[in-house]
Structure 1
């Protein structure tokens, strides 16, 4: 009974009714945290009529041991590297990222996932997954851009 009561309370906290319609608006979460190393120095791009954006790549690694059971210390260690495209639109953070993020630096990026489409130089429609950063924590020493 307590479980059903807490679930009902949670639903009431998350759902909000608009005063002039019967539309139910629900909150949702699109949140990403990545801890890894920068794969390339950032570049700043500006498309006509839009705000500039700082873009860089970031690698995260997943490691596991293949063997007889999870606690086994025998077996081969395998690693998978995943590359992520990071875009920074926030004005202050965009400039800090451009000047201080360096290839090889260890950073924590917080933001949201964004899926989009673009047309490449061969006029082929492509899909892109991007992390829109709203916070960057520097875990390596910061050095000025030369």
Structure 2
């Protein structure tokens, strides 16, 4: 099956390249999966009469051992991500059910943009545009 899909893709590419050299249609992937904890309760915003968006922050952690391999020498780095949900059904579910501290898996795409802050300073923003959110059980917190 993979071989036939690869062959078909190659044929389409060759056919396309042989007919029009100025137009290049290539496939690309912008896909992100994050597994972590929600840092704040979501907020819903609507800017300039456009469709509303649900926004929340999410933390992911990376852990590693020191050079010696000493089990007590563990370092951790937390990275914060901004999640935006535009899909109407998912946007409403996220706003209603995502809560601070929840463990979630977010699937989506990476987006870079600019905004003007309250001091009229232009800033860069990196956002994950969520296509899917999977709610995971809170093993540690459910027991408390």
- Would you call these one fold, judging by a TM-score over 0.5? yes
In terms of mean alpha carbon deviation, does 32-41 or 115-124 score higher?
115-124
Going from structure 1 to structure 2, the CA distance change for 1:115 and 1:10 (only over 3 Å counts) comes to farther
Alpha-carbon distance in structure 1 between the residues aligned to 2:118 and 2:86: 24
Q: RMSD across aligned C-alpha pairs, in angstroms?
A: 2.6
Tell me the SS of whatever aligns to 1:122. Answer: coil
Match of 2:119 in 1: 122
Alpha carbons 1:67, 1:75 under 8 Å: kept: no
Match of 1:17 in 2: 16
1:54-108: CA deviation from partner (whole Å, max 9, x where unpaired)? 000000000001032xxx3445100000000000000000000000000000000
1:48 equivalenced with 2:61 (yes/no): no
Tell me the SS of whatever aligns to 1:59. Answer: strand
Which one has the bigger strand percentage? Answer: 1
Relative to the length of structure 2, the TM-score reads 0.82
Tell me the SS of whatever aligns to 2:120. Answer: coil
In the alignment of these two chains, the number of paired residues is 132
Which one has the bigger helix percentage? Answer: 2
In terms of mean alpha carbon deviation, does 17-26 or 105-114 score higher?
17-26
Match of 1:80 in 2: 77
Give unpaired runs (5+ residues) of structure 1. 142-146
Alpha-carbon distance in structure 2 between the residues aligned to 1:138 and 1:67: 36
